[in-house]
Structure 1
Amino acid sequence: MFDKNSKIYVAGHTGLLGSAMLKLLNQNGYENIITKTHQELELTNKVSVEQFFSETKIEYIFLCAGKVGGIIGNKTEPATYLHQNLAIQDIIFEMAIKYDVKNVIFYGSSCTYPKICEQPMKEEYLLTGAIEETSIGYAAAKIAGIIGCKSYNTQYNDHRFICVIPNSMYGPNDNFDLENSHVFSALIRRFHQAKINGDNSINLWGSGNPRREFIFSEDVADASIFLMENVHKIENTHYNLGTGIDYSIKELAQNIASVVGYDGEILWDTSKPDGTPRKLLDSSKFLALGWKPKVNFAEGLEITYKWYKEKYGIN
């Protein structure tokens, strides 16, 4: 049973979701938490990972580790995104079976759903159409993980593997590198730099018309703890996790500009790709279990921008 004395491994604890996971576990009184930095443990190295599992006797895993990036990274390094994520998943899943881990939470991605998909996207829409080409390597790895959870549960007749698909996450400890970040964090940095530079205008990719649903990282962490505490309620399927509210990229840009305090003109370069037109999840199946998000978009944006300024020592 998942309780305050459980031995918990948070894989990827320095990243966006992992750091939120670690924070909320500590706040909720879970103290027997194991973490390893990338330098301390290479999760694509099976020998090292097996030694780690044999020594630690882990009971529960939040698998937050993986290679994640934005459009540029996904387009230029699809094989790397595919290989690294597949390797981490495969090794962790196998070790969880071999060393009798009680439960593992695996995180899928909304990019696993078809590029052109009925909205909001239900769990059963997975594999019903072609996925977005720009994220194909990463998406393929995540699809393998989603299927992997169900397959392991089926073969070993248990509910050891739990799969949740959060929509676009944001929050403290996000990646703000312009080459490899997602749209939310990239726009925070772009608008802040434009404000500091005194730029009269800012050029952004695409038309600004695609719509995205965003969920605060600590809400995903809170939902993950809820899942571990309510394993008896869970079916052998993946669960969508979102807020039920989406925004156009134009609306997102305007909101970020307002919070940052940038009052210049926003220009759109329609020669650049838009990506998937809309990604709104139908999270009704998960919400029916009794959980709901706590942090609204405006509050989450303020928290994230405040963290960004403090992290990089800027005003």
Structure 2
Amino acid sequence: MKVFLTGGRGMVGRAIREHAGARGHQIVAPTSDELDLTDRPAVMAALAAERPDLVIHAAGRVGGIQANIAHPAAFLTENMDMGLNVVMGARAAGVTQLLNLGSSCMYPHDAPNPLAEESLGHGALEPTNEGYGLAKLAVARLCSFVAREQPELVYRTLIPCNLYGLHDKFDPKVSHLLPAIIRKIHEANTRGDDTVEIWGDGTARREFMFAADLADAVWYMAARIGTLPDCLNIGPGHDHSINDYYAEAARVIGWEGTFTHDLSRPAGMRRKLMSVERQKALGWAPATSLADGIAQTYAHFLDRVERGEA
């Protein structure tokens, strides 16, 4: 197939391109310098010119809790613009297959865990990342509307849990939880610090998946896109506490200090575990354990530190 991939230079996009499933396909992955996804005429022209068999929309403005709290308007508008432009551009170009990557932030703040796809759109979102969640929910809805109006257009949304992995962002101003933990503990270990601070009491629970496993799911589901529901959760189906993630990263890195907790800091939702019943029915599950994923990510981080890029 000819595949038009957005976000091809990001963590998820690079994992998709580097996966064995990409072999044999022609991957068109313009950089942000080559194509501004917030520019609708440019996006529509690019898709009309390329006329791909499949669009994978993996681009987005992403960041951790600090970035989302600081810039909610940007997270809403930029992700909304990118998603709407890609979907409508694909529709106008007659692209028959599209996989849109959503986020577990699309789920209501008070939805029961595990989060089932039927809960989408039925409640207020988590305030700390509401802008991002609203944008992702709107784009997923648009995919459903397009497919409803034109059944020959198979536009589906995959909703991954929290991700980490190679090519992640480790800057604490923009990073998600696990890369931020890795960097924090690495620096504590390097300095010889005895303690590391955790925001909140550390009992909030999160579900994380190695980005290479999401790439595996993308190619697996792309081959079965006609059998997919409108929205499909992708994840391991089990979670860990924030304290557990810190402890596992400390074990991998070799830091033997103790943790303290700042109870004045925001910790987000108490739990965010997704239901993977639909995913299981399609015969897919992630293969990378938490320990192996953290070890691979830390090795990648050390390589970037050595090159002066972290």
2:241 to 242, 245, 248: 248
What is the DSSP-based 3-state SS (H/G/I as helix, E as strand, rest coil) of the residue aligned with 2:56? strand
Whether the 8 Å contact between 1:81 and 1:137 is mirrored in structure 2 is yes
- Residue 211 of structure 2 is aligned with which of 217, 230, 233? 217
Residue correspondence of structure 1 range 1-315 to structure 2 within 5 A: 6-25=1-20, 28-235=22-229, 237-313=230-306
Q: Report the CA distance between 1:218 and its aligned residue.
A: 1.0
Match of 1:170, as an amino acid?
A: Y
SS in 2 for 1:36: coil
RMSD: 1.5
CA distance in 1, matches of 2:41, 2:111: 41
Alignment check: 8 A CA contact 2:105 2:133 kept: yes
Q: CA contact under 8 A between 1:109 and 1:139: conserved in structure 2?
A: yes
| Equivalent-residue separation in structure 1 for 2:273 and 2:256 (angstroms) | 29
Q: Which runs of 5+ in 1 are unaligned?
A: 1-5
Shift of 1:51: 2.5
The TM-score, its normalising length taken from structure 1, stands at 0.94
TM-fit CA distance, 1:314: 7.3
Q: Is the 8 A contact 1:211 1:247 kept in 2?
A: yes
Kindly provide the amino acid, as one letter, of the partner of residue 256 in structure 1.
A
Counterpart code for 2:299: K
Q: CA deviation at 1:28?
A: 4.8
| Structure 2: gaps (5+ residues) | none
* Cα pair 1:169 1:214 within 8 Å, conserved: yes
Distance 2:198 2:31 in 1: 35
Cα offset, 1:154, TM superposition: 0.4
**Range moving further from structure 2, 134-143 or 115-124:** 115-124
The alpha carbon displacement at 1:72 in A equals: 1.2
Farther off after superposition, 54-63 or 165-174: 54-63
SS of the residue corresponding to residue 312 of structure 1 reads helix
Q: CA–CA distance in 2 between the matches of 1:111 and 1:22?
A: 25
Letter in 2 for 1:264: G
**Contact 2:48-2:92 at 8 Å conserved across structures:** no
- Residue type matched to 1:255 in 2? E
CA distance in 2, matches of 1:56, 1:233: 26
Alpha-carbon distance, 1:11 to partner: 0.8
CA distance in 2, matches of 1:48, 1:37: 13
Structure 2 CA distance for aligned equivalents of residues 188 and 54 of structure 1: 42
Of stretches 76-85 and 285-294 in structure 1, the one that deviates more from structure 2 is 285-294
SS in 2 for 1:130: coil
8 A Cα contact 2:154 2:226, kept in partner: no
Report percent identity of matched pairs.
32
Q: Which secondary structure does the structure 2 equivalent of 1:193 belong to?
A: helix
Q: How far apart, CA to CA, are the structure 2 residues paired with 1:91 and 1:85?
A: 10
Does the 8 A contact of 1:115 with 1:277 survive in 2?
no
1:294, CA displacement in angstroms?
Answer: 1.4
Amino acid of the residue matched to residue 160 of structure 1?
A: V
Distance change (3 Å), C-alpha of 1:264 and 1:67: same
Deviations 1:53-108 (A, max 9, x none): 23222221111101011111111111101111111111111111111112111111
Calculate the TM-score normalised by the size of structure 2: 0.96
**Contact persistence 2:44–2:90 (CA under 8 A):** no
TM-superposition CA deviations, 1:103-144 (whole Å, max 9, x none)? 111111111112222111111112222211011111110110
Larger mean Cα displacement after TM superposition, 278-287 or 42-51: 42-51
* 1:161-208 deviation line (CA, Å, top 9, x unaligned): 110110001110111110111111100000001111111111121110
How many residue pairs end up in the alignment? 308
